[in-house]
Amino acid sequence: MAALNLPTADATRAVGAALGRVLRAGDLVLLTGDLGAGKTTLTQGLADGLGVRGPITSPTFVIARIHPSLRGGPELVHVDAYRLGGITELDDLDLDTELEEAVTVVEWGHGLAEGLADDRLELTLSADPATEARTCEVATHGARWAGVDVRALLEPKGA
């Protein structure tokens, strides 16, 4: 799949909002990318699309934050796995108890959180260090996303 071009932070938030509007309870989203690639920015948009209480900030030091819905939809569990030492520490967070009832987003989840669910989206963000421009590649896994054109759902309007 070709990468989505995200020329600004606002475009990154817009893609997140589009994603948030199609996510439902039980969905798992793994975000991968270097520091400053836009993982938290995308999650801010996703939270807007879901309609959860903010503000959305990186949970680097608290590891996980739960954002309740303002509309009666699923809550957002926002996890930053950067400081976790491995799968045992991720398991200690007991995320599987939240998975069925919430949308779970795991920053730095690649290679660590795939075992949480067979059905998941993996978004890989990269950024041009000289500009705000980012790209986002999307990989789908499992029956939930089979046959869903996620790229078309996320393509910025007017692109």
Most trustworthy range by pLDDT among 17-26, 71-80, 114-123, 126-135 = 17-26
Q: Tell me if 159 is assigned to some domain.
A: no
pTM: 0.88
Which among 61, 109, 21 has a CA at the least distance from the CA of 95? 109
Q: Tell me if 151 is assigned to some domain.
A: no
Q: 126 CB contacts (<8 Å, ≥6 apart)?
A: 3, 33, 34, 37, 134, 135
Alpha-carbon torsion (16, 19, 24, 27), positive or negative: negative
Q: Which residue has the higher pLDDT, 101 or 99?
A: 101
Q: Tell me if 156 is assigned to some domain.
A: no
The CA distance from 148 to 132, in Å, is 29
Least confident range from 55-64, 84-93, 113-122: namely 84-93
Residue at token pair 């795939």: 114
Q: Residue type at 19?
A: L
Count of structural domains, the chain? 1
Q: What is the mean pLDDT of the chain?
A: 85
Percent of the chain surpassing pLDDT 90: 51
CATH code where residue 113 lies: 3.40.50.300
pLDDT in tens, 29-85: 999 998 889 999 999 999 999 999 988 887 666 677 889 999 999 999 988 876 666
What pairs with residue 52 in β-bridges?
A: 69
Percent of the chain surpassing pLDDT 70: 82
Q: Tell me if 147 is assigned to some domain.
A: no
Helix axes 39-50, 9-22, angle to 10 degrees: 40
pLDDT in tens, 8-22: 999 999 999 999 999
Whole domain around residue 51: which residue ranges? 4-142
